[in-house]
Amino acid sequence: MEPIKKLESMPAYDDCTYCGGRVTERLVTKACWWGDQLIALIEDVPAGVCEQCGERYYKANVLQRTEELLSSRDAFSSVAIPVTSFRE
């Protein structure tokens, strides 16, 4: 019995659950938050991105790797970012 082969034409992502748009894989910069605090940016993260609304979808193995990177702070470089409030 032959093993089942993955179909080459099979899309990597379903259509967007929000708007029904087509989702394609891209490399994005993922913002990582702890509550309302931005704690890290991770560049070149593979994600499914809706071509219509921009909603992002991450596969489980990508999120697992993100968690590994966040727990290993040695992998990050630091930059100072000026912050101000819009309120008058």
Count of residues for the chain? Answer: 88
pLDDT digits (tens, 9 = 90+) for 31-54: 999 898 888 899 999 999 999 999
Residue with more model confidence, 55 or 1: 55
Q: Is 0.85 surpassed by the pTM of this model? A: no
58 burial level (CB within 10 Å; 0-12, 13-18, 19+): middle
Q: Which of 48, 58, 44, 54 is nearest to 13 (CA)?
A: 48
